[in-house]
Structure 1
């Protein structure tokens, strides 16, 4: 178990190092940011002075080492536009994105898993077929389209909820639904497939032949065995929620990292974009590491194989 975790930690460290290296060189390939920061009337001396203040007059190897050490201390530099530390800018937006991610995860996981179990255990019922159609329809709707649809129906026509902006809990409902609906359909389909796969196995038929009730069988055996593919999807879907937040936050004017990304790209504030990309990569790698650890808890075979 300990060896398995150490091995996964090493792989995560290599992945983080690779992401940092890739981001550094891609940022350098976008060109010299000095010309974005100086006025059009700047002389060559002014340009060289600005380049020196950014540390761009040093060899590339030195810049790379400085970048790695700064990121290791969560120092992403200073914003080209706002002239304040990028860390402060991101930190001010993180709570909003966490609120939205939590709401979307509640929608996706809290609705998707029960729907998947229902569609598997009572698959021959007519109302289950209606649920299946709802799941397929939810997976067919792009996030931006469902967001605009929710605004038109619940904010403009019915006037039940605010259409945009951050504030109370009411402001969080529509963006959470728009962001979580697509992942909800994925959770439902994966859960349904996993439960159906377990229902077809010999130990289930044997238990039913002994008169074990379906509910007890599900709680004691099916739920644990069917959880492994759901855990795999969960790590990917949470990452997708963070990526989809860019669209949803823009549609609903939600002041999180997604909207900050769009605003920074428009303003050519590349260091802010770079910081958001790095944080997103770190979160994705951490989620995959956590999923690997959960595998060893849910499935003893992985734990034994890692020892």
Structure 2
């Protein structure tokens, strides 16, 4: 177990380092941030002095070496625009992103369990058809389009919810629906298919013959078989939700890491882009590691080599 954990931690560190290194290169393909910072009429000498102050006049390999050393110590430099440590800016926005991601994931998991169980127990019924239709709809609709439709209907037309902002439960509802519907659809289909396969097994038919009720059958016998594939898909969806939060936060003006990175890309703020990529990559990799370890808790027969 310890050997497996050591190898996974080492490989996770390599993945994080690789992601941040790729972001380092891609960020510099966006363009020169000095061109966005200067006023009309600024001389070339003044622009050169600004590049020197930002360290952008050095060779790219020297910039990369400085970046790696700083990142190893948790220092990603200061924001080009705000003159504040980039890592601190990202960490200030992280709670909002985690709140939105957790809310969307909770909505998806709870909704999928309810719909998946009902759909499997009442196969072919109106409930099953509605659940399948919702799953198809959720996997077909882009979250940015759904976000705009929610704003148009629930905010502009019905006046039920605020169109954007942060701070109350009302502000959280529409971003949660827009971000979590895709995961809800995928998880619903997974729960339904796994339960249908399990409910067709001989031991389940034996339990029914003994008079065990459908709820007890699902809870005692069926849900255990759904746990491992569901945990796997939840871990995958966590990374997808963190990525999808970039669009959702922008549409709803949600003050999270995703919106901060979109602003940083537009401003060519390299330190903030790199710090944001590091934090998101770390969260996704750590979640993957925790998921691998959770398998043994769900199924004690699993051993790590």
Kept in 1, the 8 Å contact 2:27–2:268? The answer is no
- Looking at structure 1, the residues matched to 33 and 152 of structure 2 have their Cα atoms a distance apart, in angstroms, of 41
| Match in the other structure for 1:104 | 104
Distance apart, 1:45 and its partner CA: 5.4
| Match in the other structure for 2:198 | 198
Ranges in structure 1 where 5+ consecutive residues have no aligned partner? none
| Match in the other structure for 1:295 | 295
Residues 181 and 223 (structure 1 numbering): CA distance in 2 closer, same or farther, change over 3 Å? same
Residues 263 and 24 (structure 1 numbering): CA distance in 2 closer, same or farther, change over 3 Å? closer
| Match in the other structure for 1:15 | 15
| Match in the other structure for 1:67 | 67
CA displacement, residues 52-86 of structure 1 (integer Å, 9 cap, x when unaligned): 43344555554333222322332221111222211
Q: How does 1:139-158 map to 2 (within 5 A)?
A: 139-158=139-158
| 1:131 aligned onto 2:144 | no
| Match in the other structure for 1:82 | 82
Of 31-40 and 131-140, more deviation after overlay is shown by: 31-40
Distance apart, 1:35 and its partner CA: 5.1
Kept in 2, the 8 Å contact 1:239–1:284? The answer is yes
| 1:184 aligned onto 2:212 | no
CA displacement, residues 164-198 of structure 1 (integer Å, 9 cap, x when unaligned): 11232111111111111121111111111222222
- The count of aligned residue pairs is 305
SS at match of 1:171: helix
| Match in the other structure for 2:54 | 54
- Aligned-residue Cα RMSD (Å) equals 2.5
Kept in 2, the 8 Å contact 1:37–1:80? The answer is no
Q: TM-score, normalised by structure 1?
A: 0.88
Distance apart, 1:117 and its partner CA: 1.7
| Match in the other structure for 1:261 | 261
Q: TM-score, normalised by structure 2?
A: 0.88
CA displacement, residues 75-118 of structure 1 (integer Å, 9 cap, x when unaligned): 22111122221123222322222222222122211212221122
Of 114-123 and 17-26, more deviation after overlay is shown by: 17-26
- Looking at structure 2, the residues matched to 159 and 28 of structure 1 have their Cα atoms a distance apart, in angstroms, of 43
Kept in 1, the 8 Å contact 2:8–2:289? The answer is yes
Q: How does 1:200-219 map to 2 (within 5 A)?
A: 200-219=200-219
- Looking at structure 2, the residues matched to 51 and 21 of structure 1 have their Cα atoms a distance apart, in angstroms, of 21
| 1:228 aligned onto 2:228 | yes
- Looking at structure 1, the residues matched to 155 and 41 of structure 2 have their Cα atoms a distance apart, in angstroms, of 48
- Looking at structure 1, the residues matched to 28 and 211 of structure 2 have their Cα atoms a distance apart, in angstroms, of 67
- Looking at structure 2, the residues matched to 172 and 28 of structure 1 have their Cα atoms a distance apart, in angstroms, of 34
Kept in 2, the 8 Å contact 1:38–1:47? The answer is yes
Kept in 2, the 8 Å contact 1:20–1:68? The answer is no
- Looking at structure 2, the residues matched to 302 and 7 of structure 1 have their Cα atoms a distance apart, in angstroms, of 18
